[in-house]
Amino acid sequence: QNIPPWSRLGSPLTLSCFTMEYRGGVDFPSEPHLSRPQSNSGTPVIQLRLAGENRKHHEGRVEVFYNGVWGTVCDDDFSIYAAQVVCRELGFVDAESWSPSAKYGRGEGQIWLDNVYCAGGEKSLAQCGSNGFGVSDCKHSEDVGVVCNQKRIAGFKFIRNQGLTVQVEDVRIRATYAHRKRVPITEGFLEVKDGGKWRQICNEEWTEMNSRVICGMYGFPGEKRFNVKSYKLLAKRRKKNYWGFSVNCTGNEANLATCKLGRAIELKGNSTCGKGMPVVVSCVPGRAFAPSVSTGFRKAYRLEQPLVRLRGGAMIGEGRVEVLKNGVWGTVCDDNWNIRAATVVCRELGFGSAKEALTGARLGQGIGPVHMNEVECSGFEKSLTECHFNRDSLGCSHEEDAAVRCNIPAMGFHNRLRLNGGRNPYEGRVEVLAERNGSLVWGTVCSDSWGTMEAMVVCRQLGLGFASHAFQETWYWQGDSSADAVVMSGVRCSGTELTLDQCLHHGKYVHCPRGGGRFAAGVSCTQTAPDLVLSAQVVEQTTYLEDRPMYALQCAHEENCLSSSANKADASSYRRLLRFSSQIHNNGQSDFRPRAAPHSWVWHECHRHYHSMEVFTHYDLISLNGTKVAEGHKASFCLEDTHCDDGIQKRYECANFGAQGITVGCWDTYRHDIDCQWIDITDVKPGDYIFQVVINPNYEVAESDYTNNILKCRSRYDGQRIWTYNCRIGGSVSSEAEETFPGLLTNQLSHR
């Protein structure tokens, strides 16, 4: 396997080095091999850097260069104030958080500082209180890490040595005037902000690998050629202000900040970069972000089959990684999962490089087999299926499902929508920016037909996660009075749209019988959501027929669990019932709770308990051409935790008017022998059919993934017996739809 040496764990080049020396308030060039234990003011001379694998450029294990040696910092007594000092010393405006217990991996060698105490105003970690350099009783399992705010301190003076990483305040692709209104911006002069000023980079030593990194960090899967002549003409007319360094990227980096700094360039005014011109970057947008169908993307990234997909993420470009093998979708085990493998997935799907490689089922657990384990990518594969991996996933469970968060282009979606009047930024009346009489105005959305799917799109567009609730009345939220007019109506979303205006709606001709005001649409959003999945195996193994007399079906008849012909049936006649068990798991990240409050639950006298959802599942028998042949019914149940995974406590039970729901990691089982757990097939003729179960069919409760809410099985009925087979979650039951996964055959690692 071709894994470049710079990417191996333990190599010093995997470290992002942010270096700064403090010498009594004066900045000097750093000299990492020169020992200066004390400055003139008596403060020890140190440099700092962030290190570790699987991290963003603004986070990592804190390492200190002192007395000619790099070492770590122990987490004892460390605080957010100490993290703030570290981040500011590295050129970031502030700290967001800190992590104990070697979150970013264990360091090596010295542990320089222990029991660090900072007030927060120190200019260097060396000014904070501690046991003294090298005085520690810690192990590297206690190495501390920090997460800094990505924003840089304006005008910060970085200490730069060749071979360290690129550190600048900001980076941008500056489009030409003709392209400035295009969204997204895919092409232009590359500029870096340093010392408070925007500067160009000389292209004399610029490579395609450098462009690949820039495109990736801006959310684009690859780079392409551009018209050099036109940019040369533009460059001649413009005043140039070159940056004083070249850049060396391998192409695997997720951000320019992790590329190595190249040689210093002699700045000679207009004569600088005499043999070249300012760097221009031109990127290929993914399908979802191209203004029109991009021939460049189709040519470079066309997939013969969809071999990889993301599931369970709130935002576009994030989710649990799933791969297709022999027509069956499965997950990837997180053993060895890293940013290179995650970036291959992101680029394959039309996004940029990976922001994060997530482990431990951070974006929910999948179902089915674990297809890949110990994935190792060089970072340049066209597909995850081309990477080396171990097909033996013994010991891997869905608690170890790998996931990704990808860089996506800046589309400005969040500028065209806002929430107003809510108690917090995650809720409020929905207000959209619309064109009226030649100008853009804010207005409300008509709440007719407004539901969970529409709310999902709003929360995604604003980057607020999943929908929690969709509101058709918002009188209790005081929005902007100048935005009371309804400017959008008839909104119908499938749930996959990136923006609300991509959904079906009435356009400029607004029709809202109830009007806006108190009936304007509203939403509340949440970072996590439940995810219900039906066990296909349980359904397939428990299906059978029962002939039951009408006099024993009184409760079921009252609840419309029988087909309409039962209304005229004699009490002594029999109904033929297709019975089965349902086992419904919550694989998501939050509990599944009914939307209705307890005071509105419906009491069912026959079953002696409350139903918290009027329609929880649909049961249907369908012909092969899609026609319903049995009058399937809408089943409502009492929701409770029947069983839970080890270590998880049951929270919900139906008895004594208890709280209803399904806890994360638990399942609700409806046995085949309870009322209404069937389809009435008394009037069905022998033949081949599709047996279908749909959970939460009206999307009454928001979930992270609705595609796995449907189960389909093939059924053969001969008039006396029934066979149920080939049960699948979320997809076709036809063998013709099965697709192969050649990558699994050609890139297997030997069993380890």
Q: Which domain holds residue 54?
A: 47-148
Q: What is the phi-psi region of residue 715: left when phi exceeds 0, alpha when psi lies from -120 to 50, beta otherwise?
A: beta
Using the predicted structure, report yes or no on whether residue 746 has a pLDDT greater than 60: no
Pairing of strands 522-526, 427-436: antiparallel
Do residues 75 and 132 share a domain? yes
Asked if the structure places residue 610 within a domain, the reply is: yes
Question: Do 22 and 124 form a contact (C-beta atoms < 8 A)?
Answer: yes
> What is the C-alpha to C-alpha distance for residues 543 and 322, in angstroms, rounded to an integer?
29
Do residues 112 and 174 share a domain? no
pLDDT band at residue 612, thresholds of 50, 70 and 90? low
Task: Report which of 485, 486, 503 is spatially closest to residue 494, judged by C-alpha positions.
Answer: 503
- Looking at residue 514, its pLDDT comes to 82
Do residues 709 and 688 share a domain? yes
- Looking at residue 261, its pLDDT comes to 86
> What percent of the chain clears pLDDT 90, i.e. is strictly above it?
45
Do residues 602 and 702 share a domain? yes
Number of domains in the chain: 5
Q: Between these two residues, 263 and 7, which has the higher pLDDT value?
A: 263
Using the predicted structure, report yes or no on whether residue 160 has a pLDDT greater than 50: yes
Final residue of a domain: which of 526, 544, 577? 526
Do residues 522 and 537 share a domain? no
pLDDT band at residue 384, thresholds of 50, 70 and 90? very high
Q: Which range scores top for mean pLDDT: 132-146, 279-293, 637-651?
A: 132-146
Using the predicted structure, report yes or no on whether residue 252 has a pLDDT greater than 80: yes
**pLDDT tens digits for 684-708?**
999 999 999 999 988 888 899 988 9
- Looking at residue 293, its pLDDT comes to 41
- DSSP codes, 41-80: TSPPP-EEEEE-SS--TTEEEEEEEETTEEEEEB-TT--H
Task: Report which of 17, 99, 97 is spatially closest to residue 64, judged by C-alpha positions.
Answer: 17
- Looking at residue 311, its pLDDT comes to 92
Asked if the structure places residue 19 within a domain, the reply is: no
Nearby residues of 633 by Cβ (< 8 Å), 6 or more positions away: 560, 561, 562, 618, 619, 676, 679, 680
Asked if the structure places residue 34 within a domain, the reply is: no
pLDDT band at residue 529, thresholds of 50, 70 and 90? very high
Task: Report which of 719, 713, 721, 720 is spatially closest to residue 689, judged by C-alpha positions.
Answer: 713
| Mean pLDDT calculated for residue range 501-508 | 90
Using the predicted structure, report yes or no on whether residue 456 has a pLDDT greater than 70: yes
> What percent of the chain clears pLDDT 70, i.e. is strictly above it?
86
Do residues 675 and 568 share a domain? yes
Final residue of a domain: which of 491, 526, 561? 526
* Of 472-481, 587-596, 607-616, 668-677, the least confident: 607-616
Phi, psi of 603, deg, nearest 5: -80, 130
Asked if the structure places residue 181 within a domain, the reply is: yes
- Looking at residue 41, its pLDDT comes to 55
The DSSP bridge partners found for residue 48 are 64
Here the CATH number for the domain that contains residue 446 is 3.10.250.10
Do residues 665 and 550 share a domain? yes
Beta strand extents in 53-186 (DSSP E only):
59-66, 69-73, 95-99, 110-113, 145-148, 170-174
- Looking at residue 244, its pLDDT comes to 84
- Looking at residue 183, its pLDDT comes to 84
- Looking at residue 742, its pLDDT comes to 35
| Mean pLDDT calculated for residue range 299-312 | 69
Q: Between these two residues, 269 and 135, which has the higher pLDDT value?
A: 135
pLDDT band at residue 736, thresholds of 50, 70 and 90? very low
Asked if the structure places residue 555 within a domain, the reply is: yes
- Looking at residue 197, its pLDDT comes to 87
- Looking at residue 291, its pLDDT comes to 65
Using the predicted structure, report yes or no on whether residue 739 has a pLDDT greater than 80: no
Using the predicted structure, report yes or no on whether residue 30 has a pLDDT greater than 90: no
- Looking at residue 214, its pLDDT comes to 95
pLDDT band at residue 633, thresholds of 50, 70 and 90? low
Using the predicted structure, report yes or no on whether residue 221 has a pLDDT greater than 80: yes
- Looking at residue 2, its pLDDT comes to 42
Question: Do 662 and 584 form a contact (C-beta atoms < 8 A)?
Answer: yes
Asked if the structure places residue 751 within a domain, the reply is: no
pLDDT band at residue 26, thresholds of 50, 70 and 90? very low
Task: Report which of 170, 166, 142 is spatially closest to residue 154, judged by C-alpha positions.
Answer: 170
Question: Do 431 and 443 form a contact (C-beta atoms < 8 A)?
Answer: yes
Do residues 394 and 475 share a domain? no
Pairing of strands 222-223, 245-248: unpaired
Q: Between these two residues, 274 and 159, which has the higher pLDDT value?
A: 274
Using the predicted structure, report yes or no on whether residue 657 has a pLDDT greater than 80: no
Q: Between these two residues, 194 and 717, which has the higher pLDDT value?
A: 717
Do residues 79 and 192 share a domain? no
| Mean pLDDT calculated for residue range 579-585 | 92
Task: Give the pair of three-digit tokens for residue 322.
Answer: 């799933």
* Of 436-450, 507-521, 564-578, 604-618, the least confident: 604-618
Do residues 53 and 96 share a domain? yes
| Mean pLDDT calculated for residue range 115-134 | 92
Do residues 553 and 624 share a domain? yes
- Looking at residue 484, its pLDDT comes to 87
- Looking at residue 607, its pLDDT comes to 61
Final residue of a domain: which of 148, 178, 205? 148
The residue length of the chain stands at 752
Task: Give the pair of three-digit tokens for residue 385.
Answer: 């299926």
Asked if the structure places residue 13 within a domain, the reply is: no
Question: Is the Cα torsion angle 671, 674, 676, 678 positive or negative in sign?
Answer: positive
Q: What is the mean pLDDT of the chain?
A: 83
Do residues 711 and 616 share a domain? yes
**pLDDT tens digits for 345-378?**
999 999 999 999 999 889 989 888 999 999 999 9
**pLDDT tens digits for 203-218?**
888 999 999 999 999 9
- Looking at residue 475, its pLDDT comes to 87
| Mean pLDDT calculated for residue range 265-286 | 84
- Looking at residue 215, its pLDDT comes to 95
Asked if the structure places residue 732 within a domain, the reply is: yes
| Mean pLDDT calculated for residue range 251-272 | 83
- Looking at residue 453, its pLDDT comes to 93
- Looking at residue 606, its pLDDT comes to 63
Using the predicted structure, report yes or no on whether residue 623 has a pLDDT greater than 90: yes
**pLDDT tens digits for 309-335?**
999 998 999 999 999 988 889 999 999
- Looking at residue 743, its pLDDT comes to 35
